[in-house]
């Protein structure tokens, strides 16, 4: 694994609260959305939030059992744990109605039974990738000067023309371009760190470049803007 990945796993093993919070902030929204889909209206928002916490706590507690050499992506493993947490909740909820019923599977049984593991669809995998990009973007926003990031937001995230952005900010297009370049450079560095931290397989490590987040500035800006717009659409339930 990449040194940043290894370091992050070590922090989880050591019960580092900041590492757990990073998981929650980065992947919590994706897991909540997936649990809501699975619940089909039968699981309320508070329960979904609790199950998301259980899922990410289980990741921290059982990270030693994740082995990328087995061929499963981290996102797939995370999905299996979320499904197990939801299954336990439904078992508890309907135990009396069923008069007992089957014994809930242990975590090991759930993870080990590949035939019954939930299979991630393209929408889930896309959301997991966007979560990594957005995590890097949040870091860059916190590190950048307000004017610089506002120029980047208007030009790249909102996709507005350079002249329009310059007029709104009361500056020249050349100045906007300089601020864009500074934020873009910082974002590339943060993306590299974020992808390395949460990418456990070669396939995951190739995702950024395959999505257009490579050395070409124009393609990079288009890819970041599209990822941001897709996430906004998903947040609105579109």
Whether residue 110 is found in the same domain as residue 137: no
Query: What's the CATH number where 95 sits?
Result: 1.10.1740.10
User: Which DSSP letter does residue 59 get?
Assistant: H
Note the pLDDT of residue 97: 63
- Same domain, yes or no: 214 and 177: yes
**What's the Cα-to-Cα distance from 161 to each of 152, 157, 183, 226, rounded to whole Å?**
11, 11, 17, 15
| Chosen domain end from 102, 120, 138 | 120
Residues 6+ apart with CB under 8 A from 110: 80, 81, 83, 84, 87, 116, 117
> pLDDT, tens digit, for every residue of 16-35?
889 888 988 999 999 999 99
**What residue numbers bound the domain in which 54 lies?**
3-120
Summarised one tens digit per residue, pLDDT across range 136-163 is: 999 999 999 999 999 999 999 999 999 9
d(C-alpha 97, C-alpha 73), whole Å: 37
Task: For the full predicted model, state whether its pTM sits above 0.75.
Answer: yes
Structure tokens at 140: 């860059």
152 and 66, same domain (yes or no): no
Length reported for the chain:
238
């Amino acid at each position: 694994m990449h040194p940043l990945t290894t370091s992050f796993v070590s922090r989880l093993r050591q019960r580092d609260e900041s590492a757990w919070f990073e998981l929650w902030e980065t992947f919590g929204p994706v897991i909540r959305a997936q649990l809501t889909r699975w619940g089909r209206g039968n699981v309320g928002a508070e329960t979904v939030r609790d199950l998301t916490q259980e899922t990410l706590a289980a990741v921290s507690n059982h990270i030693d059992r994740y082995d990328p050499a087995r061929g499963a992506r981290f996102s797939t493993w995370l999905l299996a744990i979320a499904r197990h947490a939801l299954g336990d909740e439904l078992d508890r909820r309907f135990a009396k109605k069923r008069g007992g019923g089957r014994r809930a599977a242990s975590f090991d049984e759930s993870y080990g039974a590949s035939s019954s593991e939930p299979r991630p669809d393209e929408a889930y995998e896309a959301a997991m990738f966007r979560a990594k990009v957005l995590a890097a973007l949040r870091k860059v926003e916190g590190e950048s000067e307000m004017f610089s990031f506002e120029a980047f937001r208007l030009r790249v995230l909102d996709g507005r023309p350079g002249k329009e952005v310059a007029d709104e900010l009361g500056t020249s297009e050349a100045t906007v371009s300089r601020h864009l370049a500074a934020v873009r450079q910082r974002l590339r560095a943060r993306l590299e760190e974020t992808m390395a931290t949460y990418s456990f397989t070669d396939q995951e490590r190739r995702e950024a470049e395959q999505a257009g987040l490579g050395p070409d500035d124009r393609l990079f800006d288009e890819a970041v803007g599209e990822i941001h717009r897709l996430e906004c659409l998903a947040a609105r339930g579109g």
